[in-house]
Amino acid sequence: MRYLIAALLGASLLTTPAMAKPPLREVSAIDDALFDLGIADIVRKNCPTISARMFKAIGYVRNLEKKARGMGYSQTEIDAYTDSDAEKNRLRAKAATFFRARGVDTSDPQSYCALGLEEIQKASRIGSLLRAK
């Protein structure tokens, strides 16, 4: 009996790494949603005629946390991901590429406004977090 228990424990230890959760940056449902939130935040900070839908954004963040917890991530893992300077830098670089690809001139606030209005009109996830003043 002791050998059976030892064998089962050994087998479960061998399968644990295969069942390990990927880093949150590799979970597109979370990472892409956080990226869109960041894009909306940058647009509202740089465009004087667009503001954030703050209650919607707060609910959005809470839902993302709930989704990550539902995937088995602890609050500590979520906080480590969202507070990580390396992750913030990675997302900033990704945002810069996104803005360039969308034709945003980062020295022109109206360029951010045009993108924000386009996203609002498309009713995209980014646009749903924004409001034209």
Reported as a single tens digit per residue, the pLDDT across 23-42 is 999 999 999 999 999 999 99
Domain assignment present for residue 124? The answer is: yes
Domain assignment present for residue 68? The answer is: yes
**Band of residue 10 on the pLDDT scale cut at 50, 70, 90:** very low
Domain assignment present for residue 64? The answer is: yes
Domain assignment present for residue 36? The answer is: yes
83 pLDDT above the threshold of 90: yes
E strand or H helix at 30: helix 28-46
Number of domains in the chain: 1
Determine the pLDDT at residue 20.
87
Determine the pLDDT at residue 26.
97
In whole angstroms, give the CA distance from residue 67 to residue 65: 5
Domain assignment present for residue 10? The answer is: no
How distant, in Å, are the alpha carbons of 13, 39, 122, 125, 127 from that of 57?
A: 40, 12, 18, 11, 11
115 pLDDT above the threshold of 60: yes
Domain assignment present for residue 12? The answer is: no
Residue 49 domain boundaries: 22-132
Domain assignment present for residue 5? The answer is: no
Domain assignment present for residue 8? The answer is: no
Determine the pLDDT at residue 70.
97
pTM of this structure? 0.84
Determine the pLDDT at residue 19.
63
> Which residues are registered as beta bridge partners of 131?
51
